Chain A
Amino acid sequence: MPTDNDDHVDRRTVLKYAGTAGAVGLAGCAGGGDGGDGGDGSDGGDGMDGGDGSDGSDGSDGGDGGDDTFELGVTMGQMDSGLDPQDHAETNTEIIVGQLYEGLLDRDKQGGIIAGLADEWERTEDGDVRFMLRDGLTFHNGDEVTPQDVRYSIRRIVFEDVGIASPQSNDLGPVTEVATGDGQVTVSFDGYNPIAFQLFATNGPIVQQSWIEENGSDYINRNANGTGPFRLTNYESGNQVVYEPNEEYWDGAPEVDELTMTASSESSTRVNQLLAEETDIVTNVPPNEVSRVNSSDVATINSVPSARIIFLQMRYDVEPFSSQQFRQAMNYAVDVESIIENVLNGFGNITGQPTLEGHVGYNPDIDPYPYDPDEAERLVEESGHAGVEITLQTPIGRYLRDVEIAQAAANQIDSLSNVSCEVQQREFSSLVQDITTGNIEDKPHFNLLGWGNGEFDGSQTMTPLMSSEGALTILKNDDLDALLNEAETTQDTEERVDILQEANQLAHDLAPWVFMHQQFSVYGVSNEISWEPRADEFIDPDTATRQ
């Protein structure tokens, strides 16, 4: 963090001089050591500051003979929940662990599938998938990556008896067996899996079997031995994680010389850190702080449409939502464009189907429902539910401005002459408990929810959320079920896209959701660096360069 250091030097120099002047006794203690530093910002070199990451080796302020290192700081909302790459299921941990571990395949910034530890991949004649490992891959401890390690990694995720009950057990699909060959691994599924490569591009970090088996959970969660672009140098649980570049990385070591990841749960603190030049990338800048960042001369806002969709789901089996007209009326009643503009400061894209633009199966012919309160009132009358009172449940603070969005939508519905709507705020964990219960009868009638689709494939949203057997479903529709089943078994890629597009059209018409918007990931980025965010919420500091 070059600027950071400049600043700290200034600050320290001021403090040093003040301290020296004010406390002769203290200055005396410092003696030659401090004199040697001479206020040149070489604090990092003396080893006392290095640990804090944001203050580490200085010297980029020019003219003092500094070593010109490129330090990068990333501040998120929350730290990791331990470093075991297979024993978590949330984004922050994925970002922190993802610098150290990687999977067989990867994704580019737009979400396209690219090579990872496997440089070739293919489908075998009987429908299994085969990955050819790169030559000369090594773990951070120097040991070679073997097909057995890959087999163990996949099995550890999928099969409970291999070590842990991994919360990622569904992420790789219904894997039945993993076979190894000479430099290759073949994964078999329970039936044909059309999205196997999509799944492996997002999931399945590879660990070293012997390292995992030799160490206990506590150790694995505090240390790392992956193949990623960075190596772990210092792990302070809940405080900070410090990395150095992996010089042996197969894709070339990153330009960053030292990476520090920290977290501040307060969004204003994150923005202040960025503006005080103590960090270079901050996540989730709230809309009301955007202009403060943009008007500063040290940082700018960099946003990207994410793979997360926000919607209001309505249960198909309870009145008044059992009526398709009523559900469509709710879509006409909510002015999503104005919510995006006024509540989200423009950081959102309106949607009209469950699949986001750019994802497999997106149907470009579907237009979002327009804002038309008259049509909404007419449809409510037609549905026979005029005068109904409904309640929208919303989580608090889980998604960007979730409560404000829910309130705006509920107000608009409430302003219809024949429906009254109020908002009920729920603590996310307790709302989720109701949403994920096995029985549809126990689920909320009407609630706001967000869904991240890391696989960039329409089926990964519609199957869990709208098919009869989906873990989170609020809909049972035979036609949609048939389409999704067909998509699951269709081997022809283009044909599968057509089926998913048809499913999207049907979902639009059935309107089990009030289709809201695609959430944006909003980052504050220091002007000292050049870095582009990704669509899947992952942060890749190895692609950052100095301006």
Chain B
Amino acid sequence: MSFGRFVLKRSLQGIGVVWGVVTVVFALRFVTPGSPINAVAPLDASQETRQAIAAELGLDQPLYIQYGRYVFELLQGDMGRSYIRGQEVTTLVFERLPATIELAVAASIVAIVLAIPLGVISATRRNEPVDYGATLLSLGGISTPNFWLGIMLILIFAVEFNIFNTSGRGADVGDVALSVVNAEPFVGTLLTWLAYITLPSIALGTYFMALITRLTRSGMLDELSKGYVQAARAKGLPRTLIRYKHALRNTLIPVITVLGLQLGTLIGGAVITEAVFSWPGLGTLVIESINQRDWPALQGSLIVIGTSFVLVNILVDVVYAYLDPEVVTD
């Protein structure tokens, strides 16, 4: 199979998965108890008012018509209109997406910056106190629920020491970039951005950090026991060079794969962290939409989250195939 055909095949599979997501998400509405009309209409609304609202929302149509119309409009980039907000779902979702991506990327950065050195150190100093410390830390990271961690971080660093903001989003990466272009005080904008994003990205990134630390540690241990490392040692190459140039590079290949896939998970998994920090991203929109039975907004958010997951997967596959042609011939 040529590389081009491989990409095409993966893309078609991806489209199939996205269509599946759309269908499942659409079907969810009908197996979930509670009608969206209850969220729109007051409790004492008459049956006529309820019927009028149902008609306005298109809920009085048979299922297959609702589904067909939904898919048809989706193909034109129209995710419908929010039941509750009266606004275009496409606008709502794409307004929120950047905040979630920003948080997911920041969390990944926090994780990588901490995890890789931690993993390397704990592998190279195996069974020393520092290794035990790192193991304990990663165990803690994996087993700590991130809503609890988030609340603790807020209590300590925002309320008690007043270093960071408790919640919300004061400035975004765009503002930071713009402040350079517009010659506005760059440091001020950067610090505002950091004051808001630091705690949620630590809360979200901790689990991921723990995961990568474990992965790096075991990968590194693997590499260090291999023949080429022994040969390099025998040749008298400096230990640092062997560890960081040769062994780490090989260790990082599977780590990068996990990183790629995990980014998709982070986008979907940010829901709880976003709620704790009132981060105005897709996660908050998902929670709000569930509470309000706002199906179009919920469907839109889930489809975008699902699609970004699929996209990242395809991208990782394609990059992998590019780097390792054997994958294509498999």
Contact = CB atoms under 8 A, between A and B. Distances in A.
Contacts of A238: 92, 95-96, 280, 284-285, 288
Interface stretch (A125-133, A224-232, A348-356, A431-439): A431-439
23 contacts: A14-B163, A26-B186, A29-B180, A34-B185, A43-B188, A46-B185, A48-B185, A51-B171, A55-B170, A55-B192, A78-B291, A82-B86, A89-B41, A264-B167, A264-B278, A272-B159, A272-B166, A278-B166, A430-B34, A432-B34, A433-B35, A471-B45, A472-B44
Interface string A462-481: 00100000111000000000
A320 to B, nearest CB: 26
Given A52-B171, A472-B43, A19 B166 contact: no
Given A27-B187, A170-B44, A438-B47, A239 B85 contact: no
Contacts of B166: 269, 272-273, 276, 278
A487 B52 CA distance: 29
A20 B45 CA distance: 60
Contacts of B82: 81-82
B39 interface: yes
Given A222-B87, A237-B85, A273-B166, 16 more contacts: A7-B162, A34-B185, A48-B179, A165-B53, A169-B45, A170-B45, A170-B46, A218-B91, A238-B95, A262-B168, A264-B278, A269-B277, A275-B159, A276-B158, A276-B165, A429-B39
A89 B195 contact: no
A64 interface: no
B49 interface: yes
Contact of B87 (A29, A218, A268, A432): A218
Contacts of A63: none
B78 to A, nearest CB: 12
B280 A19 contact: no
B188 A16 contact: yes
Interface of A: 7, 10-12, 14-16, 19-20, 26-27, 29-30, 33-34, 36-37, 43, 46-49, 51-52, 54-55, 78-82, 84, 87-89, 160, 164-165, 167-171, 217-218, 220-222, 236-240, 262-266, 268-269, 272-273, 275-276, 278, 427-430, 432-433, 435-436, 438, 451, 464, 470-472
A167 B277 contact: no
B53 to A, nearest CB: 5
B312 interface: no
Contact of A276 (B44, B95, B159, B185): B159
Contacts of B187: 16, 19-20, 26-27, 29-30, 34
A26 B92 contact: no
B330 interface: no
Contacts, number: 227
A167 B87 contact: no
Contacts of A46: 184-185, 188
Interface of B: 33-35, 38-47, 49-50, 52-53, 55-56, 81-82, 84-88, 91-92, 95-96, 151, 154-155, 158-159, 162-171, 175, 179-180, 183-192, 194-195, 275-278, 280, 284-285, 287-288, 291-294
B170 A470 contact: no
B38 A433 contact: yes
B184 A48 contact: yes
A156 to B, nearest CB: 13
Q: Which of B50, B85, B192, B194 has the most CB of A within 10 A?
A: B85
A430 B33 CA distance: 5
A48 B154 contact: no
A81 B278 contact: no
Give the residue among B87, B168, B277 with the most A Cβ atoms within 10 A.
B168
B192 A48 contact: yes
Nearest to A87: B86
A16 B38 contact: no
Contacts of B33: 427, 429-430, 433
B278 A167 contact: no
Contact of B158 (A14, A19, A80, A272): A272
